[in-house]
Amino acid sequence: MTNRLYYDQSYLTSFEAVVTAVHPSGSGCAVALDRSAFYPTSGGQPFDTGTLNGLRVTDVSVDESGEVWHAVDGALAAGETVRGEIDWGRRFDHMQQHAGEHMIAGAVWRLFGGVTIGLHLGAAFSTIDVTMPRGETHLTPEQICAVEDEVNAEIQRDVPIRCWFPDQGELKALPLRKPPTVKEHVRIVAIGDREMVACGGTHPSSAGQIALVKIIDARPSKGKVRLAFVCGMRAVLDYREKYDACTRAAALLSAKPEQLPESVERLKESVASLEHELSVMRQNEALRQVQALRESADQIGGMRVAAGVLGPLTMDGLRRLAAELTRDENTVALLAAEKEGGYSVIFARGGGVDRDMGRLLRETASRSGGKGGGKPDFAQGSAEDISILDAAKEILRGDP
């Protein structure tokens, strides 16, 4: 079984070891070593990357026996002595995220009784799933701030982080946040005097090295609360990105960053008002076309078929126009209005017409790359092009 050097030396970035086993893996091979500082994927923490004798390490995993396997993009031989080099940037980032997760989970437990049941360290942010005592699936903004304040206060105090393997007697007496998931070879991580839990991951030696913790999202997930967070340099970069975005947006609105929410609210109100005015103008313009549509209507079998293509118009506007046209009980209205990617379509009839508009629209829409349907007197849908109107006229004439 591999001697895992990172348990006691999380800052170790280079080491020498002997290859104890080799098997093919992809275009390279997977090797086991007598000792290794590479962390294998486990406990929600991704594997370390780096090199073995200059060969790139592309994956690190552990089997059921506890043997750590290193996938490399080349060939190594059993008995060969190798030098391992750990990608320190990736390792330290994972150390910050994992320790920050412990502190967030501990604060959620102390403040609200929430039990963390899962961790995922992602490339951009990390998440934990929390079971709340009364089944809550949300945390309020105030609760999130309380967690952040407590965790960052401990970080600023630079409380020590200790990792060790206690004997069974000591283990039973420790005030763990939750029971260990393994029964043997239990490793404990304690952060200051307020957080203590079993964990096999890598962590910094003190909380100050986490630098900063920020919860960036909290949402329901399968009956639990999923918290997304960033720590260390990830939190700095997240702040920088959002600061730059807020500063640019505020400049565009001639406002200070702290005035941005109010400025955006005013802008939304202004846009909504203008959109309403534009909608009314378009509707009025469309209604002014009623007489022109009536005058250009075709006489088909005793029906007046008023067909036309309008500019951008809401479906409600189309409905009002169709209602105005079909006040004449012998009129059929075949209307289309421009929209992104095609046309909105309405077919409607007056009370003196016995043709089924729903059936007519379904049949013609299928020919025009669209869809829709409705009742015998009124139907609505969409089409990719305006050939739907000519197709409808053909059917009304009785053409095949």
Domain map of the chain by residue range?
3-86, 92-240, 255-281, 289-397
Instruction: Report d(CA 60, CA 297) in Å as an integer.
Output: 75
Helix axes 88-112 and 141-157, enclosed angle (nearest 10):
120
pTM attached to this predicted model: 0.75
DSSP of 157-197 = HT-BEEEE---HHHHHHS--SS--S-SSS--EEEETTTEEE
Least Cα distance to 366 among 340, 348, 345 occurs for: 345
How much is the average pLDDT of 276-297?
A: 80
Mean pLDDT of 274-281: 85
286, pLDDT greater than 80: no
241-266, pLDDT tens digit by residue? 999 999 999 999 999 999 999 999 99
| Cα distance between the two ends of the chain | 79
How would you classify the pairing of strands 303-310 and 331-339? parallel
Band of pLDDT at residue 294, cut at 50, 70 and 90: confident
* 289-397 under CATH 3.10.310.40, yes or no: yes
Q: What is the DSSP string of 57-126?
A: EEEEEE-TTS-EEEEESS---TT-EEEEEE-HHHHHHHHHHHHHHHHHHHHHHHHH--EEEEEEE-SS-E
Tens of pLDDT, residues 298-328: 999 889 999 998 888 888 888 888 998 999 9
Position 400 confidence tier, pLDDT thresholds 50, 70, 90:
very low
Taking the C-alpha atoms of residue 235 and residue 97, their distance in angstroms, rounded to an integer, is 10
At 95, the pLDDT band (50, 70, 90 cuts) reads very high
Query: What backbone torsions phi and psi does residue 239 show, to the nearest 5 degrees?
Result: -65, -45
Coil/strand/helix, residue 209: helix
- What is the Cα–Cα distance from 2 to 34, expressed in whole angstroms? 5
Domain 3-86, CATH: 2.40.30.130
Beta bridge partners of 61: 69
Size of the chain, expressed as the number of residues it contains: 400
How many other β-carbons are positioned within 10 Å of the β-carbon of residue 115?
A: 15
Q: Which fold has domain 92-240?
A: Threonyl-tRNA Synthetase; Chain A, domain 2 (3.30.980)
Tokens read off for 111 = 């403040």
